[in-house]
Structure 1
């Protein structure tokens, strides 16, 4: 039994790992303070993601296998020669919140202290950079003031731009528990009616980008009602200007006066308020101002740093905080020291014995890849990230990487959009195989521990980075393991603490390797005289005069203006059971059963106007790209707005790469791109041929639209084209399945306009294809279950047999319960979530599906009672 930490979101849940055959058994750690044994659907399915299929097992140079010495020498020589010819700013590292803190530390030490450039940034720039900038502007440092316990003790939780029930389900369980125990009220501020909004006491469907206008109105009301905290404001500067600016704010919130008044009344009369904010705030061209608008309200009332109150940023990645702590962003130094402060630079340079310290901020993510495209960056090392999919204007980024002189990618697989563009691939150890630390959203540092040996020649990232550093001729990279790196980082944090910084874990600087191996989760700071706790209740901040700053902010519209040609506002985000670009979650079949292909949510009236039928396909286009997405007609999005998730890639759905649509507009302070407000065109995609395919083999789709996923029996795909395959459906299917000579059974159903092809080997179903001129209506889970089974009369049926009830789309991934079974329980009289759970087990796992169950109950009419 090995205690470790989940590799998904910033909640930082503890897990208990037990080797099971060639995989892992995973369960929640009841002793970890972040989750107390709870896990979400993704965490529950972690054991299904650790197989060797698709793993990169050895270094690759220009498409040919190599050994580590050759690869490392080659990387070191190319970086060294590039720097000699073009200077240190001609190279860059692009990192990831998937990296462990020790890996991050080595990368930043190498780039900023030895190569001498700050061109090292991270995909956390796409996640929480506006929070960092807002924290620094208000507090003087990137400090999260509160802890998860504040969610347990709050009387009002305000969720701003956060679909907590889907994106941070374990925290959502804590909020739900607080509501049950103490009557905590929940407000959700989101243009879209997410599943979290469904469960809220009040949903404020604000206009896109109106967060500053809303919180300015709240701040003005706080001042008008005499609710400012005069004693606390003695520790704050800028209050008068911020309140004056807020009082003059006339920006449109998109809310009715009644809803606006109800929210302001709730916030003003409730002292214990926690305002939780996430990507909906950060991913904006005015994200930093949005963060400061929230912070202003808490500073004005002194509702910060005390139990049950304060602003709370929840991070999207498992180690976004750890990366921020070691200077993972291009404008930072390690331990929350400032790259632009000469004393801080000197302290770090002296500690590292750095020969060439960076003296100015480097290029942030969007700028970095623009510099790659322009040829200013000529050597690029990408670690555990897929920027060819995830950055705005993703098509341009993909082209930039493809045109770069020298690209190194460290990853667990060579099968990503980005890895396929690399000159050198380095096989990295994956979660479950590597050892180090991560920091969650409330400053808790936890161990990730290895439970499996790295396969093939896979190695930890810190080791690869250190080896390259040594081959470049640099001293100070001779650690024997992650414990030694952690001790160095902790020692440097002590220097930062003496310089007045908040991040100080020097109390761990002398731990032994054995103590590191046994290290329990702890919340920073950790010094000889302080352990964890909250910040700022005493009114002492990290600014030069120790006073906080309230910042005057003014609402700004999204950067991309709507036009007659681009009349729709595109909001992007995540779905419950997938993670980033699905490199890990896509390997777990049960996580693909909820929402298995890229989609776009379209308002009912807009769909009717445009002629978009449910489950048809739509083309979404912007000035930077296009996507083809499955249509979900809904009232969850207002008219004129659409929503699409960002998970699909060239490997899983090449026309579903949503970030190709997003413009590269960024916040001027944080550099974070505006991912939720693109101006787009929406139109039907004229498909005349649709198919659903399933096989026990690997699918090779070639149709203009396809979306592929893993299943319990192999792979499945949705296919579509403007016309039937010119070579004929059978020929296309044989190529799709790689079965040129297999026996085939064909069935044509004129009433349904459906053709079924069943490929058989040794009397068992090898592959199935259902095709017709309209979206295929078929019981997909039942069809998938037939793969590998003996062929029989029911093998070609589009529906489930009488002995195989059709679950329908899976609503509860943890327990494998579909919408049809839940609907049957509701129809049979289950009129609340608890009764449905008792009847079906749905909602008894992570609980992220409970708002959907509640919505299904609410949408089901109560049967009329027959008159006697």
Structure 2
């Protein structure tokens, strides 16, 4: 591994969402790094969200996979790669190339992605390589290709700042793409006439800057945009300049006229206001994300949005256009190199014989895949029924993230031969593998990523590769050479891969592809190392910019296609006891938490999986805040902490996606999500699972702090990391006969045990000491435990005091309350006290006094709720210490 040896910080790119923020990383000499935003990077101009700011806290080696393993036993690279090559080659020889598959990730670098695609499609000869990006943006790809003839994002981030109206649909930008939200919020502050519309069944943090929030009926987005398209036509607002560049407009308009706007569930006055805002603004950007894509009609929703922009010509110019924001750091890079099963590299089409022949000739490959491979859901079905006999999973955790996750886990476990490349030794997926291959992680990898606006940025290493970890491209190339293709996989540096890929893009450009970075094909290694962020295309004739303002598209006749869209709501649930479960992300965590789960700071905001329920639903189910609820259907079961809030619609609860078998007993919501998919894109519908909900009644609840890393033998548990240990929320169906014996077994330690019992109220408290210092602390009772978690979390490792058993801070140490601002580490009770004692009356005043909300701004909506609650109150804060993690933390989140 060649690390950047220049003095000072290393310029690299954030490892999280598709915003693609520039980062300055300065190694601290002890395995960590100081992280700052890169003020010169055009995606973020120095801004970072709390996850990006905490990246330096996530690069430690705890839990890392550091050596290859075969059957759970460490081995060397030669043995491991020889085995992988031999088993894949043998399977292909016996059963054909379609008997093997790769499942990869939008967190791979582009160079990794390119090598995987080349190996599978160009040399193995199968299309069976798909990616977890299938779960987040495949419907956007399909919609782009249907409308534009290519998977092209027309606009740029700066369009959000130049627009007069920004519509956010199916996008909680404040939590999922915080830096873009910061840029938008700053633009609206600077230009108050800008209008922001949020379309989302939930009232999210993004609504904080909205002029209009449309809480539409879940799944009715296409009906809303059809109403807009019909109104465009009724008012005669179709672009005369653009109309000749469109095909299918009459059919699309006719379908829109037949569409029923009442499907949206909106009041006619709300609908009319939305139409007026959109139509009165020449400069409109419509931003969409997972709320649109993750649907069994996601592609139609994408095209319903694009139709409106095409008919009005609001595309490809400053401050206007449809804009897909991706969920992963390199989902776009994966699309560029053919990481999806139905694409070839450089946006060429696997179904096109000329494209296939061109790529085969360029690669000098023995054969090339002649048809699309299996998309993610179908791929794991093929693993289950034995059609795929050798599977390689790279940089992702499908046993958690896939729909019907229990079934997927069983399929992986039953596969004849499974290889997993990962940075972590213990995940729900690695435990199912025959072979584990240690990969480099963020901070150690060298290559490029592409963000949601088509900007290619360098990800540079600033830490050495630990143990025997190798870059994913090196691992894949090593297998390719062993399978008999040494010349095709002979690269020695990622710059060589990038140059090859850029050279292929020049040929793709001559075939009409939008993707052309041929200007980079002659880049030397030194130039690659110095490479600044660039927008594609980068060719002899074009440098970056927007697409389609000239009305020229990548279809055979050069015209864009408008599609007739016939909206469909999710099938009605006949059983009145069932609910539609919406799933998504929380502010401070990422995917399955293999990184963010390492940061105590990020764990403080929301520390366990939860179910957000409307008060009417909670009342009907006899559920109170902080109760546990069992969420189930025929696919699986989850147990989640109850959060009661009117931010969700009745009948449509919400749960986060992040918890796994490593961080919770039953928090994997993928277990209850069925594998229904969009028929065009193959993207799963992850936001409309039909589930039953019932109260879960354990015999006791608990809250535990310990220096140990445990998997408690309780019916329910959820883990969050602390600076000096871990915390656990617990519940169990059994009450111990002997609590002391039970606790020693639970903690798995030999220590002095201090006990406190209130047997009448069935409350038990335990402190485990080593040398008088607190090693573990456990609180149990028949109800969710009410202690000051923010206080007791700081007691581990300190000399024990009897007052520790109270679970609340002494009077001279006011409770900070649950963390609201993770950037500044400020809790809700601290904010409340400051508002009252300093008579603070605005978010800016709170930011100046405490730092809360003054950095990334993602917590400002939560702070606003506290400010409004405190407004007009004259009484002093009464601090009871009752801040049960789920009831108080989640109620204020």
TM bucket normalised to smaller = over 0.9
- How far apart, in 2, do the equivalents of 1:180 and 1:230 lie? 34
CA contact (8 A) 1:127 1:315 kept: yes
Pair 1:551 & 2:563 matched:
yes
Q: What is the Cα deviation at residue 751 of structure 1? A: 8.6
What residue in structure 2 maps to residue 498 of structure 1? 510
What residue in structure 1 maps to residue 825 of structure 2? 816
**CA deviation map 1:325-382 (0-9, x unaligned):** 0000000000000000011001100000010100000000000000000000000000
SS of the residue corresponding to residue 666 of structure 2 reads helix
Pair 1:791 & 2:800 matched:
yes
What residue in structure 2 maps to residue 155 of structure 1? 164
What residue in structure 1 maps to residue 536 of structure 2? 524
CA contact (8 A) 1:765 1:786 kept: yes
CA contact (8 A) 1:154 1:178 kept: no
What residue in structure 2 maps to residue 4 of structure 1? 12
Q: What is the Cα deviation at residue 303 of structure 1? A: 0.4
- How far apart, in 2, do the equivalents of 1:566 and 1:611 lie? 13
The correspondence of residues 842-857 of structure 1 with structure 2, limited to 5 A, is 842-857=852-867
CA contact (8 A) 1:331 1:338 kept: yes
- How far apart, in 2, do the equivalents of 1:656 and 1:111 lie? 34
- How far apart, in 2, do the equivalents of 1:596 and 1:235 lie? 52
What residue in structure 1 maps to residue 361 of structure 2? 350
Q: What is the Cα deviation at residue 752 of structure 1? A: 6.7
- How far apart, in 2, do the equivalents of 1:78 and 1:302 lie? 54
Q: What is the Cα deviation at residue 735 of structure 1? A: 2.0
CA contact (8 A) 1:198 1:855 kept: no
What residue in structure 2 maps to residue 55 of structure 1? 64
Q: What is the Cα deviation at residue 306 of structure 1? A: 0.6
- How far apart, in 1, do the equivalents of 2:745 and 2:418 lie? 33
Pair 1:541 & 2:553 matched:
yes
**CA deviation map 1:89-134 (0-9, x unaligned):** 0000000011000000000000000000000000000000000000
Pair 1:623 & 2:623 matched:
no
What residue in structure 2 maps to residue 684 of structure 1? 695
- How far apart, in 1, do the equivalents of 2:848 and 2:758 lie? 40
Question: Which deviates more, 821-830 or 238-247?
Answer: 821-830
Pair 1:230 & 2:240 matched:
yes
The correspondence of residues 250-649 of structure 1 with structure 2, limited to 5 A, is 250=260, 252-474=263-485, 475-558=487-570, 561-564=572-575, 567-649=578-660
Q: What is the Cα deviation at residue 563 of structure 1? A: 2.7
Segments of structure 1 that go 5 or more residues without pairing to the other structure are none
The correspondence of residues 84-123 of structure 1 with structure 2, limited to 5 A, is 84-123=93-132
Q: What is the Cα deviation at residue 851 of structure 1? A: 1.4
What residue in structure 1 maps to residue 23 of structure 2? 15
- How far apart, in 2, do the equivalents of 1:864 and 1:802 lie? 21
**CA deviation map 1:667-693 (0-9, x unaligned):** 001000000011111110112300000
- How far apart, in 2, do the equivalents of 1:356 and 1:565 lie? 55
- How far apart, in 1, do the equivalents of 2:814 and 2:664 lie? 29
Q: What is the Cα deviation at residue 753 of structure 1? A: 5.0
The equivalent position to 2:708 in structure 1, one of 697, 704, 721, is: 697
**CA deviation map 1:18-75 (0-9, x unaligned):** 1102211111000000000000010000000011110100000011110000000000
What residue in structure 1 maps to residue 74 of structure 2? 65
SS of the residue corresponding to residue 768 of structure 1 reads strand
Q: What is the Cα deviation at residue 396 of structure 1? A: 0.2
Q: What is the Cα deviation at residue 633 of structure 1? A: 0.5
- How far apart, in 2, do the equivalents of 1:200 and 1:728 lie? 56
**CA deviation map 1:467-501 (0-9, x unaligned):** 00000001310001100000000000000111111
Q: What is the Cα deviation at residue 538 of structure 1? A: 0.4
What residue in structure 2 maps to residue 673 of structure 1? 684
- How far apart, in 2, do the equivalents of 1:79 and 1:593 lie? 44
CA contact (8 A) 2:395 2:422 kept: yes
- How far apart, in 2, do the equivalents of 1:433 and 1:610 lie? 49
SS of the residue corresponding to residue 843 of structure 1 reads coil
- How far apart, in 2, do the equivalents of 1:732 and 1:279 lie? 45
CA contact (8 A) 1:158 1:188 kept: yes
- How far apart, in 2, do the equivalents of 1:803 and 1:28 lie? 37
CA contact (8 A) 2:665 2:715 kept: no
- How far apart, in 2, do the equivalents of 1:539 and 1:178 lie? 29
CA contact (8 A) 2:660 2:667 kept: yes
- How far apart, in 1, do the equivalents of 2:822 and 2:460 lie? 26
Question: Which deviates more, 320-329 or 700-709?
Answer: 700-709
SS of the residue corresponding to residue 654 of structure 1 reads coil
Segments of structure 2 that go 5 or more residues without pairing to the other structure are 1-8, 877-893
Q: What is the Cα deviation at residue 809 of structure 1? A: 1.2
**CA deviation map 1:190-235 (0-9, x unaligned):** 1111111243111101111100100000110111111110211111
What residue in structure 2 maps to residue 180 of structure 1? 189
Question: Which deviates more, 82-91 or 748-757?
Answer: 748-757
What residue in structure 1 maps to residue 885 of structure 2? none
Shift in CA distance, 701/418, structure 1 to aligned 2, threshold 3 Å: same
- How far apart, in 2, do the equivalents of 1:786 and 1:426 lie? 38
- How far apart, in 2, do the equivalents of 1:194 and 1:565 lie? 26
CA contact (8 A) 1:566 1:679 kept: no
The equivalent position to 1:830 in structure 2, one of 829, 833, 840, is: 840
- How far apart, in 1, do the equivalents of 2:306 and 2:836 lie? 46
Count residues in correspondence: 863
Shift in CA distance, 567/700, structure 1 to aligned 2, threshold 3 Å: closer
What residue in structure 1 maps to residue 251 of structure 2? 241
The equivalent position to 2:226 in structure 1, one of 198, 216, 219, is: 216
CA contact (8 A) 2:836 2:874 kept: no
SS of the residue corresponding to residue 641 of structure 1 reads coil
- How far apart, in 1, do the equivalents of 2:725 and 2:678 lie? 43
- How far apart, in 2, do the equivalents of 1:481 and 1:706 lie? 45
- How far apart, in 2, do the equivalents of 1:597 and 1:756 lie? 21
Q: What is the Cα deviation at residue 805 of structure 1? A: 2.1
- How far apart, in 2, do the equivalents of 1:337 and 1:496 lie? 7
- How far apart, in 1, do the equivalents of 2:554 and 2:737 lie? 69
Q: What is the Cα deviation at residue 859 of structure 1? A: 3.3
Q: What is the Cα deviation at residue 699 of structure 1? A: 2.2
- How far apart, in 2, do the equivalents of 1:787 and 1:685 lie? 31
Pair 1:711 & 2:730 matched:
no
Pair 1:132 & 2:141 matched:
yes
**CA deviation map 1:434-466 (0-9, x unaligned):** 100000000000000000001000000000000
SS of the residue corresponding to residue 796 of structure 1 reads helix
Pair 1:764 & 2:810 matched:
no
- How far apart, in 1, do the equivalents of 2:565 and 2:739 lie? 60
SS of the residue corresponding to residue 279 of structure 2 reads helix
**CA deviation map 1:724-771 (0-9, x unaligned):** 2x35332232222221x3111112356975321001111111100000
CA contact (8 A) 2:701 2:780 kept: yes
Q: What is the Cα deviation at residue 696 of structure 1? A: 1.5
What residue in structure 1 maps to residue 889 of structure 2? none
